[in-house]
Each structure stands twice: as structure tokens, then as C-alpha cells.
Amino acid sequence: MTRRELLTSLSVLAGSRAACAGPPLEISATRLRRQIESLSLYGRPAGGNFPDGVSRIGYSDADIAGRKYLLSLVAEARLKARIDAAGNIFVRAAGQDAALSPVLFGSHIDSVPSGGNFDGDLGSLAAIEILRVLGENGIVTRRPLEAAVWSCEEASFHGNALNGSRAAAGKLRPGELDGVSRGLTLAESMRRIGGDPARLDETQLRGGAFHAYLELHIEQGGTMDKEATSIGIVEGIVALDHYDAVITGMANHAGTTPMADRQDALIAAAHLTLAVRELVTQEPGPQVGTVGRLDVEPNAPNVVPGRVRLGIDLRDLSSEKLRRLGAAIRARASAIGEQTRTQIVLTQTQHAEPALATPEVQAVIQRTAEHLKLSHRSLPSGAVHDAQVMAALGRMGMIFVPSVGGISHSPKELTAWEDCARGANVLLHSVLALAV
């Protein structure tokens, strides 16, 4: 560590235009790459190579093996890990003023089935790497720093997501710990990874537990890749409304039922699917709407479909926009039902409020990117992240790096190594800027 480097970070926070005499502190891009490659072994498909993706479902044997590898990196960095009641891993570096709340930053290392090697892994390994490089350089910030590796961010075998961060924040729903999957309750799954759910209450993070929460993550969309932007400054994690539509027509013989007499549930479903896209795209903005699941009954080649169930997923930073879209889709569904002589019942099954990133934290990330001479843009996150749970407790910011082709939750997920390093360096200097 040099005073110069600390000053660099301070100048970022202050928005100072003072030129720096030397290059800014950097994480080890080589080490970060090697660790991402090594972590990919745990849950890698048989016979695969890097980056052939990973199936490291939360609480699985592969997850446990991956966590053990991550703990070995913590030890290598001469740091100490603490596992909380939910199985989250925390690694703390003391600050100059132990009375101050820490800057918290991290991500997760569990994956979806057949997921990729960057989603979560990058932000988790970068967090450990930042503590390591600071230690190697003898830098002690004013505030304590704490890296967090949240357990089970993706939907687990239990079907719920953000388990570790929600458990830490006291946001599990009643009965959720007792939900059974593959013979284990969620509480037992937490114990498998070293948690102690009976102690959740006493370890609960409360408002003020951290000075700010930062998370580095791949974009999982194609906007930055297409524009060749290095750094994404997340404005917030979008609100999500989910509707289930059940369309009831009349199943009948495909050969003997005249076209005019049909009550074809799939014709109605096709109209509704196209209507969702039309209504979502008819005003400008980043809002998205998807029919991803659609099931036909009886689904036989020679039977006019009698029933279709489909799911509608709507996301935007504005809950109000989602409400308007939902109402427009409901009105259209009613018209389609009349036109096709089917009954369409639309039920809202989910509503998640947006989690907005704190403007000051966004500003810190932006100044850091500018200082490091990296192209940047603001954008919403369409995916869920542990950061949205932390946003309910305190200041939050997220840093995105590009996903090649926008592909994610897929073995084809890819982020260029230079982008991984750029993101980690922006996280490093944002953390330093916030830790004063």
C-alpha cells in the first residue's frame, strides 16, 4: 500500500480532479481468473472443460465442495471466515475505527441447474480477492470491510431463492424453513452447509448493520455487450408481477369439429401471448413481458385444445407501470375470451416491489468508472439479486459487467476476463471510496 493509492480512492469519492502520480491499485486479474476456473470444477458436467457451465444447486454436494474451495482461498489470503446461522460465509477485514459499520460486498456461488461459470462466482471471488490484495498491500481502511458469500441465491431444490440473504435479513416467510425437498427441510439443508437456523433470530442483520452493500455481477442481458460498455451502474432491481392464465375452451375431435364451432383454448392462448408482447412494447422503456411457460390439454395432435395454462412475467423498475400493463393485459384477455368463445381467468400470483439502488452509491460507482477510464452506463437489473434484500436494510449499489451475447443461466454464459478484472477493480475502488 502506498498513501498515493489511498488518496486515489479518496479522490474518487470526493470527485476530485487532482491527477494521481501513479497507477491505481488493482486486483490480480490472473489470480481471479484462475480462481473462477478452479471453482468451476465443483458441479462441472462430466467430461466437461471450462467454461462448460456448472450445476451447483444450493445445499447440494457440489455446493458444499465449492464452498470448501472458497474457504481454502480465504485461508490462503490469511483471512478468517465466519458462517452465520443461514450458512452465509462472511469474511471481515478490520477497519481503523472498529465502532463504524462495515462496507459489505459480495455475491453467491450456487448456480441454477446447467448454469454458467460467472453468475455469482465473479462477485464472490472478486470480494475475497479485494480483501486479499488490500491485505497484501497493507491497506487498512477507516471502516471495516466485509465480504459476503450468500448461500443459495438461485431457486434451490426447495423452489425458493435468495435464501441466504433473506434468512440473514429475517425475511424468510412463515413455514419456509419447514418446506421439504428431496427428503430435507430447508432448515436441515441450511445445517448441511454449516448453518444453524435455530440461531437465525440472534444473528439477524438489521438496519444499520452495514454502511453500504455493493455487489459485482454479470449483466445476464445483452445491452452492455452490444454497446461494448465495460461497466454497468445498476439503477435498481426491477419490480416483478407474475400472472397465471387458465384458458378454458372445449376439447373436441380435430377432424369432425367445424372451424366455426370450435372453442380452441390454444387459439386464445396464441392471441394472449402476442398481446403481452404487443402491450409491453407499445410504449418506450426497458420494461419486459414474457410468456415462458405454456401447457396445453390434452395436447394431442388430433384434438382441439380444451385448456391452456400459461404464465405471464412482467418486469420494470416502476411498480406503477407494471400495474398499468397488468390491467391492459387483463382487458385484452377479456376481449380475447369473448372473441374465441373461451373463458380466460387471469390470477396475479406474484408481486415483488423494485429495489432501487441508492443514488449516492450509484454516483460513487460512476466516479470510480470514470476515474479508471472505463466506459459505463446506467441500467436496471432485470434479474433478482441478493442486493435487493440488502436494499431493504441500507444503502445498496451494483456493478455490472457484460455477458457475451447476453446469455446467462446457461452453460454458454461467458464474460471476457478483461471485463471480470475491470468489474473487480471498480468494486475495489468503490469499496475503498465508501470505506472512508
Rounded least distance, CB 362 to a second copy, Å = 19
Window of 29-37, 199-207, 311-319, 419-427 that interacts with a second copy by CB under 8 A = 311-319
Site string for a second copy, 269-288 (x = CB under 8 A): xxx-xx--x--xx----x-x
Cβ atoms of 272 and 289 within 8 Å: the answer is no
Rounded to 10 deg, the angle between the 417-434 and 121-136 helix axes is 60
Spatial CB neighbours of 258, under 8 Å, sequence gap ≥ 6: none
Window of 58-66, 208-216, 305-313, 369-377 that interacts with a second copy by CB under 8 A = 305-313
Spatial CB neighbours of 81, under 8 Å, sequence gap ≥ 6: 71, 74, 89, 90, 91
Q: Which residue has the cell 435479513?
A: 169
Cβ atoms of 230 and 375 within 8 Å: the answer is yes
Instruction: Compare residues 156 and 220 and give the one whose CB is closer to a second copy.
Output: 220
Under rule CB under 8 A, how many of the chain's residues touch a second copy? Answer: 60
Window of 60-68, 194-202, 308-316, 323-331 that interacts with a second copy by CB under 8 A = 308-316
Rounded least distance, CB 42 to a second copy, Å = 23
Spatial CB neighbours of 1, under 8 Å, sequence gap ≥ 6: 25, 134, 137, 138, 139
Gyration radius (Cα) of the chain, Å: 24
Q: Which three cell numbers stand for residue 344?
A: 380466460
List binders of a second copy among 377-416 (CB under 8 A). Answer: 381-384, 406-410
- Told to check if 432 binds a second copy by CB under 8 A, we report no
Cβ atoms of 214 and 427 within 8 Å: the answer is yes
**35: helix, strand or coil:** helix
List binders of a second copy among 203-242 (CB under 8 A). Answer: 219-223, 226, 238, 240, 242
Q: Which of 30, 72, 299, 334 binds a second copy (CB under 8 A)?
A: 299
Q: Which of 101, 290, 348, 378 binds a second copy (CB under 8 A)?
A: 290
Q: Which helix (H) or strand (E) holds 411?
A: none
Instruction: Compare residues 87 and 326 and give the one whose CB is closer to a second copy.
Output: 326
DSSP track, 141-168: -SS-EEEEEES--S--TTS--SHHHHHH
Rounded least distance, CB 317 to a second copy, Å = 12
Cβ atoms of 291 and 312 within 8 Å: the answer is yes
> What is the C-alpha to C-alpha distance for residues 236 and 398, in angstroms, rounded to an integer?
8
- Told to check if 146 binds a second copy by CB under 8 A, we report no
Window of 1-9, 301-309, 324-332, 417-425 that interacts with a second copy by CB under 8 A = 301-309
Rounded least distance, CB 286 to a second copy, Å = 7
- Give the interface with a second copy as residue ranges (CB under 8 A): 219-223, 226, 238, 240, 242, 250-259, 261, 264, 266-267, 269-271, 273-274, 277, 280-281, 286, 288-296, 299-305, 311, 313, 315, 381-384, 406-410
